[in-house]
Each structure stands twice: as structure tokens, then as C-alpha cells.
Amino acid sequence: MKIFIKNMVCTRCIMAVQTILEQSEIKFNEIHLGEVETDKELSEIELKNLSKKLNAVGFEILEDQSQKLIENIKILIVNKVSTLDISEDFLFSEYLSTQLHRDYSAISKLFSRHQSMTLEHYFILQKIEKVKELLFYQEYSLKEIAAMLGYKSVQHLSSQFRNITGFTPTLFKNMKVKSRKSLDAF
């Protein structure tokens, strides 16, 4: 049985869900971002109890097909950004269409309708979160970060960063801001 779970965006989320499943004595085959495959079909009571435990830590079992698709879109975006391998000529719309085997305009409309932001804006927000993380750990120069995240120039990255955060990347780096917005807050 596949269970689709909202707000799983990182390996810590996978570990949290795994702990809940183990505490609930629910055997599972695999856990991926946004998805758990159990050994057997869960009873209504088991699903209800699992749902309560997941809700208590910020997760939600998804039953609606639209919500499942939106969660899948978010996971694809988060995973793509975390690869740090976005080329300058990366076509976001083509990537999503190919991955989901759906028309991009339909995906985009669905996402915007349910998330109150465009797909492109969500993608930008995820990239800016990654920039903040990389700046915080000071492993890469701004030029390297721009190249890894598909920006055509450091100026483009800086402009987008300033529009989203209100700070220049350099100011942010110098401030060592620790209060980053959690990825699953979007």
C-alpha cells in the first residue's frame, strides 16, 4: 500500500516518519520523500492513528489526487535544487513536464490554484533557500553558487536574492543569519 505524505522535504523528515511507523508497529518496504510503501493494506483505525501521529509533527496523509501531484511537484523541485547541478540553460517547464508526463500549463495552473503562488516563484524560493544555506556554511563563493543553481550571472542571483530576502548575499553572509525559513513552510 502506498501512503502519500505532505511536507516531507528532507532526510530528517524521512527519519521522523520512519520513527512514527516503527513506534506504531507498521511494517514498511520503502520510505521516500512524500511517500511510504507499507507491507500490507492498513486498516481504517491504523490509518487514523498514523494520521494523528503524523499531524502532531507537521505531516499530513494525502488522499486527494491533486494534492498528491502538488506534493510530487514540490519534491521534484526540492530534489533538483539540492543536486546543485542546474545548468544555465535549464528549462524548468520542460523538466517538470518530462518528470510528470503532463502538460506544463496544466501543472502550473493546478499548483497556482492550490498554493497561491506560481511554480516559478516556488522554484525561486527553493533556490534562494539553498543560496542562504550555502552562504551560511561558506563552502562556495557566490560565483560558484550562481553557477551551480543555474543563474546566468552573480548579478542575477544577487538581484533575486535581494528581492526575496531584502538583503544582498554579501550582507546576509556577513550577518550570519541563522533564522532561515524552513523549506516545508512553503
CATH superfamily of the domain spanning 67-185: Homeodomain-like (1.10.10.60)
Interval 148-175 mean pLDDT: 94
Q: Please report the pLDDT score of residue 177 as a whole number.
A: 46
CATH topology classification for 2-63: Alpha-Beta Plaits (3.30.70)
For the chain, which residues make up each domain, given as ranges?
A: 2-63, 67-185
Buried b (16+ CB within 10 A) or exposed e, 22-42: eeeebebeebebbbbebeeeb
User: To the nearest whole number, what is the mean pLDDT of the chain?
Assistant: 92
Report pLDDT digits (tens) over 26-38: 999 999 989 999 9
Q: Do domains 2-63 and 67-185 have the same CATH topology?
A: no
Report pLDDT digits (tens) over 4-61: 999 988 889 999 999 999 999 999 999 998 999 999 999 999 999 999 999 999 999 9
Helix (H, G, I), strand (E, B) or coil at 116: coil
